[in-house]
Amino acid sequence: MQYITDKWENRVFLLLSGLNDDFENIRSQILNSNESFSIEDVYSRVEAEEQRRLLSSGRKGEEQSAYVSRAPVGTPRSSRKCTHCKKLGHTRDFCWDLYPEKKDSRGRSSSGKKPVSSATSLSDGKGSISAEQIRELRAYLSKIDV
For 34-46, write each residue's pLDDT tens digit. Answer: 888 888 888 888 8
Q: Does residue 49 have a pLDDT over 60?
A: yes
User: Per-residue confidence at 68, pLDDT binned at 50, 70, 90?
Assistant: very low
Domain boundaries, the chain: 2-143
CB atoms within 10 A of CB 99: 23
Q: Does residue 80 have a pLDDT over 70?
A: yes
Q: Dmax over Cα atoms in the chain, in whole Å? A: 73
In angstroms, the Cα distances linking 110 to 74, 85, 124 are 24, 14, 20
Q: For Cα atoms 59, 61, 66, give the angle at the middle one, nearest 5 degrees.
A: 95
pLDDT at 3: 61
pLDDT at 1: 59
Most confident residue range from 3-12, 24-33, 132-141: 24-33
Instruction: Kindly report the average pLDDT of the chain as a whole number.
Output: 70
Average pLDDT of 137-145? 75
Q: Does residue 134 have a pLDDT over 60?
A: yes
Which secondary-structure segment (H or E) carries 135?
helix 131-143
Q: Does residue 77 have a pLDDT over 70?
A: no
